[in-house]
Amino acid sequence: MPLQIDGALYPDREPPTELTTLVDRVNCLSRWRAGWDFGRLPDPETIEATRQPGWTEVVRATNLPTSPAYHLLRAWHGPPEAPYPGDTPAYIRDDPSLDYA
């Protein structure tokens, strides 16, 4: 399934016409993921394309633990689950009085 490359995700340059290298695919996935985190949902075709097994290597090559969209991608592709640092604010997580709760 071909990936539709959203030109709006490339405001700094001309969008690529194809993603031939791992670096191109990681760059595209990072832009797509950042857009999704800030409310710019990808087309359903793009979501379906990135759920294909060929994108597992791309997901594994990125490490974006503060991104909710990244954790969804990890769930789709099966890499080991990674902690999301946004679940519990540090000032709560590290509060020593919680040891007694």
Residue 101's pLDDT band (cuts 50, 70, 90) = very low
**Residue 41: DSSP 8-state:** P
Q: What share of the chain in percent tops pLDDT 90?
A: 14
Q: What is the pLDDT of residues 58-94, one digit of tens each?
A: 988 888 887 888 888 888 887 666 666 665 556 656 6
Q: Which two tokens stand for residue 28?
A: 């595209």
Contact 19, 25 (CB under 8 A): yes
Q: Give just the sign of the alpha carbon dihedral 97, 99, 100, 101.
A: positive
| DSSP annotation of 11 | T
Q: Is the pTM of this model over 0.85?
A: no
Domain ranges of the chain: 7-100
